[in-house]
Amino acid sequence: MMEETGSSLSTNHPYWPRNLSLPTYVPNDRSMTEILVFLFSVSGVLLLSIWALTGKQVAGQRLSAGRRLALCWFTVCGFIHGVIEGWFAFFYPVIISDQSFLSQLWKEYAKGDSRYIIADNFTVCMETVTACLWGPFSLWVVLAFLYNRPYRYVLQLIISLGQLYGDILYFYTEHRDGYMHSEHGHPIYFWFYFVFMNGLWIVIPFALIVDAWRQLSAVQAISDKTTSQSRKHKAN
Amino acid sequence: MMEETGSSLSTNHPYWPRNLSLPTYVPNDRSMTEILVFLFSVSGVLLLSIWALTGKQVAGQRLSAGRRLALCWFTVCGFIHGVIEGWFAFFYPVIISDQSFLSQLWKEYAKGDSRYIIADNFTVCMETVTACLWGPFSLWVVLAFLYNRPYRYVLQLIISLGQLYGDILYFYTEHRDGYMHSEHGHPIYFWFYFVFMNGLWIVIPFALIVDAWRQLSAVQAISDKTTSQSRKHKAN
């Protein structure tokens, strides 16, 4: 819709492809540092709080260090999916010209992927599902582990697969577009924002899928053994 | 790429939007009936074979009717994802002008969604993941249930969530595009091909996710109870 090619030589925005026409673009008045400090300090505070909170015995059990790290991860996911990506899902049509803090965050991030300021159809759909489902589910799974709910690993599997599949499609669609939506090889915008930040949502969900697979299969194996033994007892 | 608007008044193809320019289009020489008979008879034969096969006692157990139906479903999924969608994933660039049987099947289906003959980026990516992962996994899960493997419900959950999320994005992206890729309200192309056929992959995977959730949580609940009891024994 907004992805029209302009013929003017002077481009008034920092986005790629350089010939994108973005007449309503308003440059940020917040610096990159302010935005990154906000993102990482909120994430850091959440991470440390959950680490401290889960150190105590909860619901008659003590969580392992790995499990506590997983809960820290899901809490940060709850914040990023629910608040940051939630903002995008609701306000993507106006972000380009808006100066709210979170709109400025997205205008900064879009230097690594301009699909976020041209309302790319797949991006909007995937982000909306992420914000509305994986966001709340991420907080739900933290409670599920704290209260030792029997569906805790099922929920971990659902969120992690949702994140992984969404992210695979995110990278794959951009790969087929020839990485045209950022300056190819730029150390910050391409490698840090686009590749590294999103790469986290490939590596960590994959590890948590493997973890859930192992846990759920182990418990099923014990149950199957019991069933098989009781069947043999009946047969004898 | 091919989605350019032509100004010629005579459109030589049956796809929507009507102003799509598809100069390499070759009309099918197979009828809609032939194509649908092929699709439903292969699916029907697979369904009946698996129903018959799973009626016997396998690996010392007898499967319930619901479980047998689920295995029939996954076998049909293996065929549709692996063969039909696999064909699309490999040959999408040439389907528009190709007369192989499966290319004709896609040219027929595309009357309900022209994204399949214009190499829409999201569609190609989602279909490639579906063909390469959910296809083989669908056959794997059938074997997993026949041989009573402990990861069988985990695999059912993974495939079903993958199918559901892919299909939600498939409908959602087209909804945001204003259903421009088919004749809105057409009883066969819009309602049967696009809505009904894809609707199956919303309803059935959702039911199978609920089924896996219940099964896995029930087994986990028993395991948690045992752990909690042995912890109390130790404490006493």
Q: Please state, in angstroms and rounded to a whole number, the distance separating the CA atoms of residues A154 and A213.
A: 9
Predicted pLDDT at B123: 97
Nearest alpha carbon to residue A84 among A30, A135, A29: A135
Q: Which residues contact A215 (CB under 8 A, 6 or more apart)?
A: A153
Question: Cα(B156)–Cα(B142) distance, rounded to whole angstroms?
Answer: 9
Average pLDDT, chain B: 91
In angstroms, what separates the C-alpha of A76 from chain B's closest C-alpha? 22
Distance, CA of B119 to CA of B91 (rounded, Å): 10
Task: Please tell me the distance from the alpha carbon of residue B181 to that of residue B179, in angstroms, as a whole number.
Answer: 6
If you measure CA to CA, which chain A residue comes closest to B157?
A158
The reply to whether A158 touches chain B by the CB within 8 Å rule is yes
Tell me the per-residue pLDDT of A71-109, one tens digit each, with 9 for 90 and over: 999 999 999 999 999 999 999 999 999 999 999 999 999
pLDDT tens digits, B124-183: 999 999 999 999 999 999 999 998 999 999 999 999 999 999 999 999 999 999 999 998
Say whether residue B79 is in contact with chain A using an 8 A CB cutoff. Answer: no
Read off the tokens for A47. 């991470």
CB pairs < 8 Å spanning A and B: 108
Place B8 in a pLDDT band, splitting at 50, 70 and 90. Answer: very low
* Other CB atoms within 10 A of residue B37 CB: 11
Query: Which pLDDT belongs to residue A104?
Result: 94
| Residue A232 clears pLDDT 80, i.e. is over it | no
pLDDT at A2: 47
Residue A137 pLDDT exceeds 70: yes
According to the model, what pLDDT value does residue A1 have? 44
DSSP bridge partners of B58: B61
CB atoms within 10 A of CB B217: 19
Q: pLDDT, tens digit, for every residue of A7-32?
A: 444 678 899 898 888 889 999 999 99
- Does the CB of B59 have a partner CB in chain A at under 8 Å? no
Angle at A123 between CA A139 and CA A39, to 5 degrees: 50
Contact B121 A213 (CB under 8 A): no
Q: Which residues of B touch A222 (CB under 8 A)?
A: 223
| Burial group, residue B207, by CB count within 10 angstroms (0-12, 13-18, 19+) | middle
- Give every CB contact of residue A178 below 8 A, 6+ residues apart in sequence: none
Bond into A17 cis (ω within 30)? yes
Identify the pLDDT of residue A230: 77
Checking if the pLDDT of B231 tops 80, the result is: no
The 3-state secondary structure of chain A, one letter per residue: CCCCECCCCCCCCCCCCCCECCCCCCCCCCCHHHHHHHHHHHHHHHHHHHHHHCCCCECCECCCHHHHHHHHHHHHHHHHHHHHHHHHHHHCCCHHHCCCHHHHHHHHHCCCCHHHCCCCHHHHHHHHHHHHHHHHHHHHHHHHHHCCCCCHHHHHHHHHHHHHHHHHHHHHHHHHCCCCCCCCCCHHHHHHHHHHHHHHHHHHHHHHHHHHHHHHHHHHHHHHHHHHHHHHHHHC
Residue carrying structure tokens 């894809």: B198
| Residues B181-193 as b or e (16 or more Cβ within 10 Å = b) | bbbeeeeebbeeb
Query: Which chain A residue's Cα is nearest to B229?
Result: A60
pTM assigned to the model: 0.91
Report the pLDDT value the prediction gives residue A225, as an integer from 0 to 100: 85
Q: Are B220 and B153 within 8 A, CB to CB?
A: no
Which residue on chain B is closest to A159 by alpha carbon? B161
pLDDT band per the 50, 70, 90 thresholds, residue B10: low
Query: What is the distance in angstroms between the CA of the first residue and the CA of the last residue of chain B?
Result: 72
pLDDT of A41 over the 70 cut: yes
* pLDDT at residue number B224: 86
Q: Is B178 on the interface with A (CB under 8 A)?
A: no
Query: How many angstroms separate the CA atoms of B89 and B160, rounded?
Result: 20
**Two tokens, residue A16:** 């790629």
Q: Give the pLDDT band of residue A58 (cuts 50, 70, 90).
A: low
Q: pLDDT for A164-205, tens place per residue?
A: 999 999 999 999 999 999 988 889 999 999 999 999 999 999
Interface-testing mutation among B126, B148, B152, B169, with chain A (most A C-beta atoms within 10 A): B169
Q: How many residues in total does chain A contain?
A: 236
In the stretch 196-215 of chain B, residues with CB closer than 8 A to chain A read: 209, 212-213
Tokens (6 digits) for A76: 């940060």
For residue A61, what pLDDT is reported? 75
Q: Give the model's pLDDT for residue A236.
A: 64
Q: Which residues contact A227 (CB under 8 A, 6 or more apart)?
A: none
Residue B20 · residue B114 · CB < 8 Å: yes
**What pLDDT, on a 0 to 100 scale, did the predictor assign at position B132?**
97
The percent of residues in chain B predicted with pLDDT above 70, rounded, is 93
Residue bearing tokens 């063909």: B131
| Per-residue model confidence (pLDDT) at position A227 | 81
- Closest-CA residue to B205 (of B164, B170, B166): B164
Min Cα distance A41 → chain B (Å) is: 32
- Which positions in chain B touch A124 (Cβ < 8 Å)? 176
B67 by DSSP, 3-state: which?
helix
Tens of pLDDT, residue by residue over B37-86, are 999 999 999 999 999 988 887 666 788 999 999 999 999 999 999 999 99
Residue A105 Rama label (left phi>0; alpha psi -120 to 50; beta): alpha
pLDDT of res. A4 = 46
Mean pLDDT estimate for chain A: 90
pLDDT of A144 strictly over 90: yes
How far is the C-alpha of B2 from the C-alpha of A215, rounded, in Å?
48
List chain A residues with CB under 8 Å of B124.
176
